[in-house]
Amino acid sequence: MKKILFILPLVFLLSACGPQKKTEAPTPTPAPKLIEMAPADRPLVSLTPRDDGRMIYLKISQMPSAVSQIEYEVIYTAVDGKSEIEKGVGDTIKEITSIIERKILLGTESCTNGCKYKYDEGVTGGTLTLNFITNAGQIFSFETPFTLKTGAQITKDGQIRLPVANFSLTPKAKLAAKDFFILMENYRGGYSVYSNTSNSLVGEYSAQE
Q: Contact 61/43 with Cβ under 8 angstroms? A: yes
Structural domain span for residue 64: 32-205
Q: Contact 187/41 with Cβ under 8 angstroms? A: no
Comparing 16-25, 46-55, 126-135, 172-181, the range with the smallest average pLDDT is 16-25
Q: Which of 88, 92, 90 is nearest to 70 (CA)?
A: 92
Q: What does the alpha-carbon distance between residue 207 and residue 181 come to, in Å, rounded to a whole number?
A: 18
**Does a structural domain hold residue 23?**
no
Q: What does the alpha-carbon distance between residue 135 and residue 64 come to, in Å, rounded to a whole number?
A: 12
**Does a structural domain hold residue 8?**
no
CA distances from 60 to 2, 93, 97, 184, 209 (A): 83, 11, 9, 14, 25
The model carries a pTM of 0.82
Q: What is the CATH number of the domain that holds 101?
A: 2.60.40.10
Reported as a pLDDT band with limits 50, 70 and 90, residue 25 is low
**Does a structural domain hold residue 17?**
no
Q: What does the alpha-carbon distance between residue 125 and residue 99 come to, in Å, rounded to a whole number?
A: 24
Return the higher-pLDDT residue of 21 and 83: 83
Domain count, the chain: 1
**Does a structural domain hold residue 178?**
yes
